[in-house]
Structure 1
Amino acid sequence: MRTCTNCGAQFADDELFCPVCGQEVQLVPDFETIESKIAQSEKEKEEAERKREEERRFQEQLEQQKKKRMHKLVLMFVLIAAAVIIVTVSVVAAIRSRTVNTFDYQYAQAQECYENKDYTGALEHLKKALGYEPENDDANLLLAKTEYQLDQNDEAAEVLEALLDRNGSLEEAYELLFQIYQDDSRPEKIQARLKKCSLTDILEKYSRFNPQPPVISPEGNTYNDTVKVEITADGTGEIRYTTDGTAPEKDSNLYTGKLELSQEGTITVQAILVTADGLVSDPAEAEYTISYDVPDAPVISPVSGTYKKMETEESGSYRSESVSSSSGEDTAQMITVKVPSGYTCYYSWDSKPDKSSKKYTGPVEMKLGDHVFYAVLCSKQGKLGKVASCTYIYTRVTPTPANTPTPTPVYTYTAPQNAEAVETPTPEPTETATPTPTETPTPTAAASESQSDKS
Structure 2
Amino acid sequence: MILGMILFLAAIIGIGVLIYRNTYTGVVNQGKRAEAGGNTTKAEDLYLRAIEKNGEKEDAYVSLAKLYHGRDQDDKADTLLQEAVNTYPDSTGVYRAAVEFYEDTEQTEKIAYIMSTCTNEQILTELKDYVAKIPEFSLDDDKVYDNVQELTLSSEDEGTIYYTLDGSEATTDSTEYKEPIQLNQEGETTVRAIFVNKKGIASVEVQKTYTIQFPVADAPAVSPTTGQYSEAVSVEIQVPDGYTAYYTLDGTEPSDQSIQYTGAFAVYEDTELNVVLIDGNGKKSEVTTRKYRFSS
Q: Provide TM-score, normalisation by structure 1.
A: 0.48
Does residue 205 in structure 1 map to residue 126 in structure 2?
Answer: yes
1:365 to 247, 261, 266: 266
1:335 to 221, 227, 235: 235
Partner of residue 4, structure 2: none
Indicate if the aligned counterparts of 1:111 and 1:122 stay in contact, CA closer than 8 A. Answer: no
Partner of residue 47, structure 1: none
Does residue 305 in structure 1 map to residue 232 in structure 2?
Answer: no
Question: CA-to-partner distance for each residue in 1:303-322, whole Å, 9 max, x for gaps?
Answer: 2333334xxxxxxxxxxxxx
Does residue 226 in structure 1 map to residue 148 in structure 2?
Answer: yes
Greater relative CO (CA pairs within 8 A, separation 6+): 2
Indicate if the aligned counterparts of 1:130 and 1:136 stay in contact, CA closer than 8 A. Answer: no
Quick one: distance in 2 between partners of 1:364 and 1:393? 16
Map residues 53-452 of structure 1 onto 2, 5 A cutoff. Answer: 106-109=18-21, 135-138=51-54, 141=57, 144=60, 154-155=66-67, 161=81, 164=85, 166-175=87-96, 184=104, 186=106, 188=108, 190-220=111-141, 221-309=143-231, 333-351=233-251, 352-367=253-268, 369-394=269-294, 442=296
Quick one: distance in 2 between partners of 1:143 and 1:382? 64
Quick one: distance in 2 between partners of 1:392 and 1:131? 94
Measured after TM superposition, the shift of residue 223 of structure 1 is 2.3
Quick one: distance in 1 between partners of 2:257 and 2:176? 36
Q: Which has the greater radius of gyration?
A: 1
Quick one: distance in 1 between partners of 2:115 and 2:202? 13
Q: Provide TM-score, normalisation by structure 2.
A: 0.71
Indicate if the aligned counterparts of 1:266 and 1:290 stay in contact, CA closer than 8 A. Answer: yes
Stretches of structure 2 lacking an aligned partner (at least 5 in a row) = 1-10, 35-41, 70-76
Q: Give the secondary-structure state (helix, strand or coil) at the position aligned to 2:123.
A: helix
Indicate if the aligned counterparts of 1:187 and 1:209 stay in contact, CA closer than 8 A. Answer: no
Indicate if the aligned counterparts of 1:130 and 1:139 stay in contact, CA closer than 8 A. Answer: no
Q: CA RMSD in A?
A: 4.1
* Aligned sequence identity (%): 26
Quick one: distance in 2 between partners of 1:290 and 1:280? 30
Q: Give the secondary-structure state (helix, strand or coil) at the position aligned to 2:166.
A: coil
Question: CA-to-partner distance for each residue in 1:107-140, whole Å, 9 max, x for gaps?
Answer: 44455996xxxx669968x98x959966433398
Question: CA-to-partner distance for each residue in 1:268-311, whole Å, 9 max, x for gaps?
Answer: 111111233321111112112222222211111222333334xx
Partner of residue 410, structure 1: none
Q: How many residues align?
A: 262
Q: 1:382 to 1:113 in 2, by over 3 A?
A: closer
Indicate if the aligned counterparts of 2:234 and 2:264 stay in contact, CA closer than 8 A. Answer: yes
Quick one: distance in 1 between partners of 2:89 and 2:17? 27
